[in-house]
Structure formats: structure tokens, C-alpha cells
Structure 1
Amino acid sequence: MPQLSGDELNKMGFAGLGENVLISDRASFYNCKAITIGDNVRIDDFCVLSAGVGGINIGSFVHIAVGTTLIGAGKITLSDFSNLSSRVSIYSSSDDYSGVTMTNPMVPNKYTGVLHADVFLGKHVIVGSGSVILPGLTLEEGVAVGALSLVRCDCKAFGIYAGNPARRMKERKRNLLKLEELFWADFKAEAAVDVPQK
């Protein structure tokens, strides 16, 4: 996967850009001044991140896999250690499908009824391939969403959700919280070794 260089990333004008950010040169970004990216983030080929007024905030140690889209006027937050598999779609805006209003962005706003609402993914959330997350939802810490799921309601912490519409199937193990503690201890120890001695 060919990746953008550090100079190319800096020229894009992100609101914030961390270290060790690996972005494919085949990914597309719109309104970079409203996008913040933390440390140790990878964004793969054919992803589309289109930030609206609310912006997109990506934490650290996050992976956004091939063909994923984050689109809408509301704020989209991906917390630390979250993971979006291929072809996941997160929308913070959606047309009204009821027929009460007209639809699509080529029609003036006064004729449409677009919903704009923030989307929040907590730490350690993982979303399976082909899943769709609708505007206004919160996926709390540790949520796992199975492939090809339609998420229409908030997801409570450490639940495994799947289906159309997605529903809580069972509990997700919390072992990863202990692993996170070990990870940070190792990470800080390695960082200390890398600091030049005076």
C-alpha cells in the first residue's frame, strides 16, 4: 500500500496530526481542517473521510480498513484502539426517506429534511466488514459489531452486536483491558529506551 509522506500529510492541512500516521495515497479526504488524527493511525486504500461542521476526531492506535467511509455534518469520533474493518460506513448525516421531504444534496436545503447528529465510538470498539452506523449513535467502550450489521440504536459497553437491525447477542470479554495496561507499560518502557541520553 503506497503511503503519503510526512511532507504530503503536513501539506493537507489537518486540524491535528500525530506521529506514525500511515495513510494510503489512494484514500480521499475532504475538509481536512476539520479532521484530527492521533498517533499510530493507519488509513487504507479507497477510504473516504468527508468532514462536516462537526469534524472527524480520530484517536490513537486506530485502524480504518479498505473502502471505509466517514461522512456527514455531525461530529464523528473514533476513540483510541478502535478498529473499522473494510467497507464500514459511518454517517453523521442522513436524508429523510419517508417521502415528507425531497432528498439528495443537489436539492436546496429548504426542500429537504436531512438529519445531522454526532456519532461516537468508544475505546476498543471494533466494527465488522460491511456494517453501517447511522447518525446520532454512541457505541460505548468495548463494543463489537459483527459483519454486515445495521446499527440503528446505541450500543452499551462490552456487548457483541450483530444483525439487521443490530441487537446485543452476548457479552464481550474484558481481557483486553488488562492487555491495554500491559501494552502501555511496554510502550512507555520502549519510549524511554529511545530517548537519547545526555
Structure 2
Amino acid sequence: MQNSFVKVPLWLFERVVGFLLALPIPIYSSAVYGLVTNMRGLPHMLGMYIRGLYYRQKLGLMEPNVFIDQGVFFAYPQGVELKEFSYIDKNVLVMSKTAKVGRRVHIAPRVFISGGGDFEIENYACIATNSNIITSTEVLKDGARCSGPMVSADQRRVFRGKVLIKKDAFIGANATLLPGVTIETGAVVGAGVTAAKSTEPWGVYVGERAQRVGTRDSVLCPDN
């Protein structure tokens, strides 16, 4: 790929195809989006490649070697930043107002990141399958309703907060992180845990009330 006779035509081809895929033409853009989103993912590479060309035009930032699998949805694509070697797996829904994904991050299938607030996951962190990242919620006070977005805004009290997952942290399957929570560096949130409060670095949390049961060894591997 260092050969200019290959590199330059490939660069030009990818830019032209990406531009054509991302054209904001009514009906055409919807058809392209449906096709691109539903193309088969890994281990089949064509769909992954086409999605790479498409989302490079659509997202706020998409570094090289990013993988976006089949059925992924970004509600606010211009607020999404994906760093190198991140992998957004099948049927992930990203509804938060902003989403920043660090290097070598894996967000596993069917993770749901709710809307309204902000979300960030730092380098080498991971979210296992079926987990929920809640960035906004109804607040039950002052006689407010909690029926959701179909109720007029003046009858609701909504809290929006940033969910931050720091470097080397691990979120287990079916876990839930509530608005304003920070999962500190290297912390482990076990399967099925609901984290309503921020953790401590390298802590291991299990059970319904996210009790700390131990300390994880610090990562000794160098970054790459």
C-alpha cells in the first residue's frame, strides 16, 4: 500500500464513493442508509468496508481502522468521535448527544446508549453485550410526571449527565450505568450490576447494589 501507483487511485476511489454514498438527497439518502446499515458484518468484509466509507463522511471524527458492524445506529452522527481500532459491534444504538470512543475499545452487540446526555469511553475499555448506558432520566420530584418524551416539557423534570468509562475499565454483560456515573480507570462492573454511583480505580463491583468485592491487578501491558 506504500506504492503511490496503488495508494493514490485507492484514496481517490474511496473519497468519491464515500461522497456519493453520503449525498443528502431525499429518498436516495434513506435508501443508501438502509442498504449500508444492513449489509452483512464480520466475518464478511464488504459491508464493513462500505460502512467505513459511508461513516467517514457522516461522523464528527472517524480515525483509520475503525470497525462499524451491521445494524449500528447513531442518533447524532456529528457528535460521534471514534478513535483508531475501535469496534462498534452489531445492533449497537448510540442515542446520546455526544459519544467519544477511545482507541482499541470494543462495544459489544446490543449495547444501548440512551439519549440526552454525553457519553465517553477511554482507550482499552470494553462494554459487554446487552448493557445499558443511561445518559438522561426522569426525576421524581416537585410533582413532575415521569411518563417520558410524549409529556410536555413543562410537566417533566429531566436530569442529563455524562457517563464516563475510563481507560482499561470493563463493563460486564447486562450491566446498567446511570447518568453522571464515572467508572474509574481499570474498574470492573460485573454482569447485571446497576451502577448508580461512581467507582474507585481498579475496583471490582458485583451484586445489585454494585458492592466492591476486590481489587483488580493494574494493567502492565504497554499501550500500542
Q: TM-score over 0.5 for the alignment?
A: yes
Q: Is 2:68 aligned against 1:23?
A: yes
- Residue 97 of structure 1 deviates from its aligned partner by 4.4
User: Aligned-residue CA RMSD in angstroms?
Assistant: 1.5
Unaligned 5+ runs, structure 1 = 185-198
> Post-superposition, which runs of at least 4 consecutive aligned residues in structure 1 deviate over 6 A?
none
Q: Equivalent of 1:63, from 98, 101, 106?
A: 106
State the TM-score, normalizing by the size of structure 1.
Answer: 0.85
Higher helix fraction (1 or 2):
2
Q: Is 2:66 aligned against 1:14?
A: no
Partner of 1:81: 124
Contact kept, 8 Å, 2:140 with 2:157, in 1: the verdict is no
Larger Rg: 2
- Residue 100 of structure 1 deviates from its aligned partner by 2.9
Secondary structure of the residue aligned to 2:55 is: helix
Larger CA deviation: 93-102 vs 162-171? 93-102
Secondary structure of the residue aligned to 1:141 is: coil
Unaligned 5+ runs, structure 2 = 1-39, 42-46
Residues in 2 aligned to 1:135 and 1:102: alpha-carbon distance in whole angstroms: 19
CA offsets 1:8-36 (integer angstroms, 9 cap, x no match): 2223x211111111111211111100111
Secondary structure of the residue aligned to 1:72 is: coil
Residues in 2 aligned to 1:26 and 1:96: alpha-carbon distance in whole angstroms: 32
- Residue 59 of structure 1 deviates from its aligned partner by 0.7
Contact kept, 8 Å, 1:151 with 1:166, in 2: the verdict is yes
Contact kept, 8 Å, 1:123 with 1:142, in 2: the verdict is yes
Residues in 1 aligned to 2:102 and 2:168: alpha-carbon distance in whole angstroms: 11
Q: Is 2:197 aligned against 1:137?
A: no
Residues in 2 aligned to 1:58 and 1:162: alpha-carbon distance in whole angstroms: 25
Residues in 1 aligned to 2:175 and 2:141: alpha-carbon distance in whole angstroms: 22
Secondary structure of the residue aligned to 1:120 is: strand
State the TM-score, normalizing by the size of structure 2.
Answer: 0.75
Contact kept, 8 Å, 1:35 with 1:51, in 2: the verdict is no
Residues in 1 aligned to 2:75 and 2:96: alpha-carbon distance in whole angstroms: 6
Q: Which has the higher contact order (CA 8 A, sep 6+)?
A: 1
> How many percent identity over aligned positions?
21
Q: Equivalent of 2:161, from 105, 117, 120?
A: 117
Contact kept, 8 Å, 1:32 with 1:51, in 2: the verdict is no
Contact kept, 8 Å, 2:96 with 2:135, in 1: the verdict is no
- How many aligned residue pairs are there? 177
What letter is aligned with 2:62?
L
Contact kept, 8 Å, 1:62 with 1:82, in 2: the verdict is yes
Higher strand fraction (1 or 2):
1
